[in-house]
Structure 1
């Protein structure tokens, strides 16, 4: 399962929101990945997420495969759309 979402927070995915994203992704047993700018990274890896250098307005695809894939994708989309509380 996958969904596309746009980064909304002004500062993009810097350390704090990236940490929140990885923590949320790690709550699920499914394999979770983020695709952007031709790169695919493990959503449970802080280094992978930070390596994307995501800024405000960038589109990312959140993909998951496994028993709780729908819950994983929906939770991560909700987190991104909330602007990480910023």
Structure 2
């Protein structure tokens, strides 16, 4: 049996200009500090939270509801960290 934990949370994107280079850079840096697999879903697209290119292709705008899923030993902490980045203006 696996010790991997899976956590999902809906997060509203607060960045005024949507998901652009500055918040993406912060998000990738934060997400890369976790061993968990972190995925973000928006409009039927799925992005690896550790990939700037994936995140840019989401095209998420301010106020968008993103569905974040983390799977791994530190999934709960990873979700909290991603939520913090996405909730900043």
TM-score with structure 1 setting the length: 0.92
More helix by share: 1
For 1:38, the equivalent position in structure 2 comes to 44
For 2:35, the equivalent position in structure 1 comes to 29
Matched, 1:10 2:16: yes
Deviations 1:34-86 (A, max 9, x none): 01101111110000000001110111011100010000001110111122xxx
Note the residue ranges of structure 2 that are not aligned, 5 or more in a row. 1-6
- The total of aligned residue pairs comes to 83
Per-residue deviation, 1:10: 1.1
Moved over 2 A (4+): none
Residue of structure 2 aligned with 1:65, choices 67, 71, 79: 71
Aligned partners of 1:30, 1:8: CA distance in 2, in Å? Answer: 24
Cα RMSD between the aligned structures? 0.8
Note the residue ranges of structure 1 that are not aligned, 5 or more in a row. none
Deviations 1:3-55 (A, max 9, x none): 00111121111111111111111000000000110111111000000000111
